[in-house]
Amino acid sequence: MHHCNMCGQCDSKVMVDGPGTWHCYDPVRGKPFPFKVSVCQHCGHVFGAWDQDRTPLYIDEEYVTCDDDLEQYTTYVQFALAGLPPANRRQRILEIGFNRGSLLKRFYDLGFECHGVEPGKQNVEAARARMPDANLNQGLFDAEWAGRFDDGHFDVVMLTSVFEHMPEPADILRTVRSCLAPDGRLFLLVPDLAFYTPTPQINRDEQALYGCSQLKFFYRNLFLCYAQHVNHFSAASLTRYLAALGLRTQQIANIGNVWISATPADPVDPSFDYPDLVACHTRMMERYQDLLDGMRETVVDRLAGKRVVCYGAGREFSYFLDVFEPLGVEVLAVADDTFAQKTVHGVPCVAPGALPDLAPDFCVGTSFDFENEIAAKASTLLPGVEIRTLTALLSEHPITMPNWTDHQPRPARPPIDESPRHSGGVRGTAPAPGPSNRRAPVTTR
């Protein structure tokens, strides 16, 4: 039995059992594997019950999550700095796991003294090209790395879509707290446990802006079923764990992800004994397993006895085949616009124009990125044949959203502090006077 990543207890219960993936952006790198997700019966923490340390992947692979300056970064910056008191000293910011530096670059352009630590060598090189005067390091964030700085060295520490990957989250939070100035801010963003189930209540604009999608729940398995995410948090559990480790939540929002701004404080209730979280997260995971089973059964029932072809021979088709073929779904062929392969995992790959010759009675569009275009093309090629995208097929399973409001505070948008900050700086403008971006000598203990 794996010990709990948060409280260290060995009393956990497996709540979810199903097929998972090794890599969220390219599932063909590894076939689905049996995954198990457990709930700690002491503190309620939800964690993957497998070999949890995926750190070598972040060093040996280039784990590139985003190379673009995204629109939501404006909101991230505002949220991270909201309520940060004006300071007479230079503003120092540390991003842990900065990837290609897209978010940190926003602060760099505002004149912050930027520091970062990131395991991927090529990621670090790309970020240094963007921010030549920033202090960017290749490596892992831990107590040894943080030991090169005085306690309280940083005004802001950021972990955005990073904390869920770390196998020892409690140790990370303790180290972060030692790095923060007494009036500093931690900005933490993680996937929200309550949003691992399909999220039809998120409108299309929010889906586009924040990357929320029903399909992330199932066949792409970006979160709960994804081996590189070893920890899973709800808004309630994360605020509770932060408090126990000496970080008081200042602001919180839920928009598909949990957004938290926290500041150092005295630890509260360090026992990690939270029976209410155990009950809440157990209900969440039971519902997840029911949905996982129900959606698989819906697809299998829908395709039983049908002459099935697929359109879209990329990663989604590979995962679709790996999950549903063992359950009795047979695919005659898969169409590919480039027709660059003869077979995909043993299934003949044909040009789209060859699909009518197979006389199918069901066509599944197996490409998430272009599924609407593919459905339109398939309708022209296969008149009279039932054509469904994977989104539509999976959504046929009835979904009733639960109400997690007792543990999931969720304002419509993150609260934004509109007041001037950083010695007269206002939102969207550089702080005045702005600190230099030249590397500062690192103070050692």
- Residue bearing tokens 């397993």: 289
Measured distance CA(155)–CA(263) in Å, rounded: 10
- Number of residues in the chain: 445
Per-residue pLDDT band at 243 (split at 50, 70, 90): very high
- What mean pLDDT do residues 330-346 have? 87
| pLDDT over 70 (residue 113) | yes
**Most confident listed range (61-65, 68-72, 149-153, 427-431):** 149-153
For 177-207, write each residue's pLDDT tens digit.
999 999 999 999 998 887 665 544 444 554 4
- Residue bearing tokens 């309708």: 379
- Angle value at C-alpha 281, between 24 and 97, nearest 5 degrees: 40
| pLDDT over 70 (residue 302) | yes
More confident residue, 383 or 57: 383
**Phi first, then psi: what are they for 206, rounded to 5°?**
-70, -35
Nearest to 66 by CA among 94, 93, 95: 95
Of 28-37, 50-59, 140-149, 179-188, give the lowest mean pLDDT range.
Answer: 50-59
Taking phi over 0 as left and psi of -120 to 50 as alpha, with beta for the rest, 86 belongs to beta
The predicted pLDDT at position 114 comes to: 96
The predicted pLDDT at position 426 comes to: 28
- What mean pLDDT do residues 305-323 have? 86
The predicted pLDDT at position 120 comes to: 87
Measured distance CA(399)–CA(408) in Å, rounded: 19
Q: What contacts 24+ positions apart, CB below 8 Å, involve 379-388?
A: 381/352, 381/353, 381/355, 381/356, 382/355, 382/356, 385/360, 385/361, 386/361, 386/362, 387/362, 387/363, 388/302, 388/362, 388/363, 388/364
Nearest to 311 by CA among 347, 271, 284: 347
More confident residue, 22 or 179: 179
Measured distance CA(238)–CA(95) in Å, rounded: 19
The predicted pLDDT at position 425 comes to: 31
Domains annotated for the chain, with CATH where assigned, are 303-394 (3.40.50.20)
Look up residue 182 and give its two tokens: 């007494």
The predicted pLDDT at position 188 comes to: 95
Q: What is the DSSP letter of 57?
A: H
- Angle value at C-alpha 253, between 250 and 254, nearest 5 degrees: 150
- What mean pLDDT do residues 267-293 have? 87
| pLDDT over 50 (residue 413) | no
Q: Residue 337 to residues 72, 263, 367, 377, 385: CA-CA distances in angstroms?
A: 33, 52, 12, 10, 19
Per-residue pLDDT band at 404 (split at 50, 70, 90): low
More confident residue, 323 or 223: 323
**Most confident listed range (140-154, 256-270, 393-407, 418-432):** 140-154
> 12-20 and 113-118: which strand pairing?
unpaired
| pLDDT over 60 (residue 298) | yes
Span between the terminal Cα atoms of the chain, in Å: 39
- What mean pLDDT do residues 61-72 have? 69
Q: Are 362 and 308 in contact (CB under 8 A)?
A: yes
pTM of the model: 0.79
Q: Specify the amino acid at residue 90.
A: R
Per-residue pLDDT band at 18 (split at 50, 70, 90): confident
The predicted pLDDT at position 63 comes to: 65
Q: Residue 375 to residues 46, 331, 389, 394: CA-CA distances in angstroms?
A: 38, 17, 7, 15
Cis check for the bond before 326: say yes or no (omega within 30 of 0).
no
Of 123-127, 298-302, 323-327, give the lowest mean pLDDT range.
Answer: 323-327
The predicted pLDDT at position 3 comes to: 85
Alpha helices per DSSP H over 70-162? 72-81, 102-109, 121-130, 143-146
Percent of the chain with pLDDT strictly greater than 90: 43
- 225, with CB counted inside 10 A (0-12, 13-18, 19+), is buried
- 167, with CB counted inside 10 A (0-12, 13-18, 19+), is middle
Half-sphere exposure of 182 (CA within 13 A, CB side): 1
The predicted pLDDT at position 66 comes to: 63
The H or E element containing residue 258 is strand 257-264
The predicted pLDDT at position 201 comes to: 42
Alpha helices per DSSP H over 304-432? 315-324, 371-381, 390-394
What is the largest distance, in Å, between two alpha-carbon atoms of the chain? 75
| pLDDT over 70 (residue 357) | yes
**Most confident listed range (57-61, 313-317, 362-366, 391-395):** 362-366
Q: What is the DSSP letter of 436?
A: P
- What mean pLDDT do residues 339-363 have? 91
Three-state SS across 376-398?
HHHHHHCCCCEEEEHHHHHCCCC
